[in-house]
Amino acid sequence: MKWNTFGFIGLGLIGGSLALALKRALPDCRILAYVRTRATAESALACHAIDAVCESPADPQFSECDCVFLCAPVGSNIAALNELQKVVRKDCILTDVGSVKSGIHKAAHEMGLDGRFIGGHPMAGSEKSGFSNAQAHLFENAYYIITPSEGAAQEQIDAYYELVSAIGALPLVLDYRKHDYVTAAVSHLPHLIAASLVNTVHDLDSKDEIMKMLAAGGFKDITRIASSSPEMWEQICMANSGNISEIMDTFIRLLEECRKEMAAGNSGAIYRTFERSRNYRDSFSSNALGSIKKTYRIYCDIVDESGAIATIATTLAVNGINIKNIGIVHNREFEEGALRIEFYEEAPSLEAARLLRQHRYRVWVR
């Protein structure tokens, strides 16, 4: 299948990054987009992420498309899908990028689009949003779930699979129902757990906020995703509430078992809990990006003296390495090194570690 023209409904972080990635992988392709904000459309045109702006999801220009990506919120995607079906060709692949698939698959079925709709979920993202933060390399080595509708031609599924591979992602074909169950466990529930853990500390903290002051190191890391968009996660949790609730039952049961064993003084059971989790987690692949955005950081030992941090920052800057965040780790109960430096990508973090070791700093990569 030859890809000539792509359409987009929405150009936020994911949609914008997809457009940039397609332009990089297929320089001769043409990209059309409908976005609600004129400023976003103008920015996308200016940086050549798109070639033309459509006035609505029913714009006749979408009839030129071989594939249309729905990159808006779920409700908007379903409404756009209803409009698109009036103008796109019969052989045009319709797809989305949402993290919950059941709703859009059900809507596509009710619209008679079985066989034409192939769901998609690129498991990549950032704490930042909007087209201004889009990156062509966002999907590299990230899983990209493909959820074909019933009746989808194998030829189209294969073509979509190859397209996903072309932008550097790792395609994986799943039934959309299985997708929603899996993401409930590895993405949706963890966000609820992180939010609940942060709220627990908030509710139990004293007036002098000593818990907040000491909530660094491991606590801050495991609750990082609690800073995600409340609006987005409200929609995700409500759209996948059945699967999340089912998996939450198991999580609550395991917590209650730990409480019971601690109360009974059963140290062996607690040891086995940590041993089992350690062994399973240590078997995870560190190469592919999963459902929760990976952070790239190094820790460095420094002496508490004037200019110590500035020297390291200058060393990295001179060598063209961009820093995402840098700061002193005051609670080092679970971390080595007094200075934590975060990066946007893995390669710069590894190069930074190499450079600092050359300058005789002690460095740990995490």
Backbone angles phi, psi at 70, to 5 degrees: -95, 110
Looking at residues 29-41, what average pLDDT do you find? 95
Q: For residues 78, 130, 366 and 181, what is the CA-based torsion angle, rounded to 10 degrees? A: -10
Q: How confident is the model at residue 293 (pLDDT cuts 50, 70, 90)?
A: low
Q: What is the mean pLDDT of the chain?
A: 90
pLDDT in tens, 13-33: 999 999 999 999 999 999 999
Q: What is the pLDDT of residue 227?
A: 81
Q: Kindly report which listed range (31-40, 122-131, 338-347) carries the lowest average pLDDT score.
A: 122-131
Looking at residues 120-145, what average pLDDT do you find? 86
Q: How confident is the model at residue 292 (pLDDT cuts 50, 70, 90)?
A: low
Q: What is the pLDDT of residue 334?
A: 47
Q: Kindly report which listed range (22-36, 65-79, 174-188, 287-301) carries the lowest average pLDDT score.
A: 287-301
Q: How confident is the model at residue 291 (pLDDT cuts 50, 70, 90)?
A: low
Q: What is the pLDDT of residue 333?
A: 44
Looking at residues 242-252, what average pLDDT do you find? 97
pLDDT in tens, 332-366: 444 555 788 988 888 899 999 999 999 989 888 87
User: Is the pLDDT confidence value at 157 over 90?
Assistant: yes
Contacts by 180-185, CB closer than 8 A, 24 or more apart: 180/100, 180/101, 180/102, 180/240, 180/243, 181/243, 181/246, 181/247, 183/99, 183/100, 183/121, 183/240, 183/291, 184/240, 184/243, 184/244, 184/246, 184/247, 185/247
pTM of the model: 0.79
In what helix (H) or strand (E) does residue 242 lie, and over which residues does it extend? helix 241-263
Q: How confident is the model at residue 305 (pLDDT cuts 50, 70, 90)?
A: confident
Q: How confident is the model at residue 290 (pLDDT cuts 50, 70, 90)?
A: low
Q: How confident is the model at residue 1 (pLDDT cuts 50, 70, 90)?
A: confident
Report strand pairing: 296-300 vs 363-365.
Answer: antiparallel
Looking at residues 310-327, what average pLDDT do you find? 90
Q: What is the pLDDT of residue 259?
A: 96
N-term to C-term CA, the chain: 42
Q: How confident is the model at residue 281 (pLDDT cuts 50, 70, 90)?
A: confident
